[in-house]
Amino acid sequence: MGTLIPGKKGMGLAPDHPKGLGGWLVLIQIGLYVTFIRSFILVYDFFTNTLGSEGWYALTSPASADYHASWKLVLIFEVSANIILLLASVYLLTLLYNKRAVFPRWLIFYYIIGLLLQIVIMVLVAGIPQSSELAASGNLLSNIARGLVNGLIWTAYILRSKRVRNTFVN
């Protein structure tokens, strides 16, 4: 039913619905932290190990047998996508812990952008003849499928959850 609480105009009734960052929202928090850590590692690895390495020159140097003009674009787009996901996860965690009312909308937008970035990466990789089998492999397709299922499940939860409606009100 609810709990009686004192207010300026007398006693009011506060619903006993769940609120706060518990319940299924814990899994969303964990997912955002995992994305942050994963993206940080990938960006760090790109700048410390990939950029300027033999592999970079093998893919981006016209004198190399593995060269294709699109490799540089693909690698830079992928690191840019990871930087976007890293910054977005920090922003979303800030909104989450401040219980901002815009958090549910930004989270849904985050899932859409993440899925679109995966699709663009797959299309870019598929455009390189030496890597067309990589694009058709299960790894890139499973990333897209995982992003789609993850986005659909959590979007449905965000839109229907009483806890979300009661928590993100600021």
Phi/psi region, residue 99 (left: phi>0; alpha: psi -120 to 50; beta: rest), is left
Higher pLDDT, 44 or 11: 44
* Residue 59 pLDDT: 85
Name the percent of the chain lying above pLDDT 90.
56
Amino acid, single-letter form, for residue 128: I
The answer to whether residues 168 and 107 touch, using CB atoms and an 8 Å cutoff, is: no
Task: Considering only residues 50 and 43, tell me which one the structure prediction assigns the higher pLDDT.
Answer: 43
Three-class DSSP category at 30: helix
Q: How many CA atoms lie within 13 A of 126 on its CB side?
A: 12
3 state SS of 4:
strand
Average pLDDT value for residue range 137-143: 78
pTM more than 0.85: no
Question: What is the pLDDT of the chain when averaged over all its residues?
Answer: 88
Report whether 95 contacts 106 (CB < 8 A).
Answer: yes
- The answer to whether 157 and 151 are in contact (CB under 8 A) is no
Residues in contact with 86: Cβ distance below 8 Å, sequence separation at least 6, in sequence order: 35, 36, 39, 40, 43
Tell me which residue of 113, 104, 108, 125 sits closest to 86, measured CA to CA: 113
Among 86-90, 92-96, 138-142, which is the least confidently predicted range?
138-142
134, amino acid identity? L
Picking from 77, 76, 110, the residue whose alpha carbon sits closest to that of residue 94 is: 110
